[in-house]
Structure 1
Amino acid sequence: PVLAGRLHYSPALPPLRAGLLQRMPAGTALKIHAVYARPFWRAAGLSGVAQSAEGVLTETVDNTPPGAPRAVLTGFAYGAEAALLRRQAPGARRRAVLDHLTALFGPEAGEPEEFVEFDWLAEEWTRGCFSGHLVPGAWTAFGPVLREAAGPLHWAGTETAVHWNGYFDGAVESGYRAAEEVRRSL
C-alpha cells in the first residue's frame, strides 16, 4: 500500500481509497545474518531460536541451510528497536546486535565470520515490511474499501488476504481473489 500510494492515478482514486493508502504504512524491520564457522549454539544444547522482550532483537532463528559449510543465526529487530538501530552508525549497529546475540548464545556469538544486514525501510520497492498496517482509527474509517475495486482497478496484496494476512500465502490468495473479481467483471 505504501508504494501504491506514491503512484499518480488518472482519474484520481476515490477519496476513501486514497485515504486508506495514506494510512497504511509498512512496518519497520531490520534483518541480520551472523555467519559462523560452525553452529556452536547446538553444542551448548541451544536451538538458535529466541524471543526477546528486551534488547534490540525481537527474535532469532537458526537459519543454517542443511549441509551448509557454515552456520547462520538470523535476527530480526522490529518497530522502535529497528528505528533505534537505523539511527546508529553501521559499527555501533553491528555491536548492538552482536552484544544481544552474545547475551543469548554466549561469547562465540560476538565473533561472526560475516555480518549481513537488510533494512526493508531503505528498500526502494518495499519501503518497509512485512506488510502494511492500518494506523489507529483507520480501520473503522477506511477499512471497508480495502478490497473494493476502484473502477477497473482491483486490489490484491497480502494486506487484503482473508487468510494468512501478512504472509506470502495471503498474497497469493488475494491474487486469486482479485483475478476472479476481474474475470467476473468481464
Structure 2
Amino acid sequence: RVIVAIPPVLAGRIRYAPALDGLRDQLTQRVPMGTVIKVQCVYPTPFWRAAGLSGQATSDTGPVRLAFDNSPPDASVGVLMGFMEGDDGRALLRATPEARRQATIACFTRYFGEQAAAPLEYIEQSWADEEWTRGCYAGYFPPGVWSSCGVALRQPCGRIHWAGTETAEAWCGYFDGAIRSGERAAAEVLAALPAAAPATLSDPSEFSACE
C-alpha cells in the first residue's frame, strides 16, 4: 500500500496503473493551488519600532496587502515581510523582479513611512514557480467542488491512500492538519493490512493545534 501526501493537483500529475477512478481524477482536476509571492525587504535596523509600530499591516490595497516584522531576535537588521496573494500575485507573476521590488517598496513605504523606501536588500519567493508546489498556501476548492467531488478526497483508491493538509478534517492548510491527515492515512493502512503484531497510533484528536 502507498500513501500519497501531496496536493490533489500534483497527485493528478502522477501516472497510475491502473488509472484512478473517474471521480478521484475529476477531483484532482478541480483543486488548484493558491498564488502567493513572498517578499522581504532588509533594512539597517527595525526602524518602525522606534516609531511605536509593530511592523504588521493589513490593507485593502495591494499588491502587498499583508506585512509582518520578520527581523531576527537580536534586531541586528530590520526585515519587513509581505505577501502578494491571489489576483495581485498572478498579475505580477510575469513582471520583472525589479517591478515586484518597486511595488513592494511602495506598499511598505505607505505602511511604515519614507524610511522603508531604501532597503539594503530585496528578497522574493514565487511559490507558483516552485516545481514541487506549483503554488501556495494549499489547494483550494472552488464553488461546487465539495458537493460534486468531495467524497473522493479521502476515500482510498484500491491500495492508494490519500493524506496531505488538503485532506485534513481540522486545520486544513496548516502543518497541524498535515500531521492529522498522516495519522488518519496510517490508521487506514494498518486497518487494511492482515492481522499482525498489535500496533497503535495516537488519536489525532489528542493533538492541539498549538502543540
Structure 2 distance, partners of 1:100, 1:36, is 15
Paired residue for 1:10? Answer: 17
Paired residue for 2:40? Answer: 33
How much does 1:64 deviate? 1.2
Structure 2 distance, partners of 1:121, 1:54, is 22
Instruction: Return structure 1 stretches of 4+ with deviation > 3 angstroms.
Output: none
Question: Contact (CA 8 Å) 2:62, 2:84: kept in 1 or not?
Answer: no
How much does 1:58 deviate? 1.9
How much does 1:94 deviate? 0.7
How much does 1:68 deviate? 4.4
Question: Contact (CA 8 Å) 2:63, 2:107: kept in 1 or not?
Answer: yes
Name the amino acid aligned to 2:14: L
What runs of 5+ residues in structure 1 fail to find an aligned partner? none
Name the amino acid aligned to 2:24: R
How many aligned residue pairs are there?
186
How much does 1:116 deviate? 0.4
1:60 aligns with 2:67: yes
Q: What are the equivalent positions in structure 2 for 1:50-129 lying under 5 Å apart?
A: 50-129=57-136
Name the amino acid aligned to 1:100: C
1:161 aligns with 2:179: no
Cα deviation 1:104-157 (Å, max 9, x = unaligned): 011111111111000000000000011101122111100111110011111000
Question: Contact (CA 8 Å) 2:36, 2:85: kept in 1 or not?
Answer: yes
Name the amino acid aligned to 1:56: P
1:170 aligns with 2:173: no
Cα deviation 1:63-122 (Å, max 9, x = unaligned): 112114212111011100001121322211110110011000111111111110000000
1:143 aligns with 2:154: no
Paired residue for 2:4? Answer: none
Name the amino acid aligned to 1:123: E
Structure 1 distance, partners of 2:71, 2:176, is 23
Q: CA RMSD in A?
A: 0.9
Paired residue for 1:20? Answer: 27
SS at match of 2:15: coil
Paired residue for 2:191? Answer: 184
Q: Which of 40, 46, 51 is residue 53 of structure 2 equivalent to? A: 46
Structure 1 distance, partners of 2:135, 2:95, is 18
Question: Contact (CA 8 Å) 2:37, 2:126: kept in 1 or not?
Answer: yes
Name the amino acid aligned to 1:147: R
Name the amino acid aligned to 1:76: F
SS at match of 2:149: helix
What runs of 5+ residues in structure 2 fail to find an aligned partner? 1-7, 194-211
- For normalisation by structure 1, the TM-score amounts to 0.97
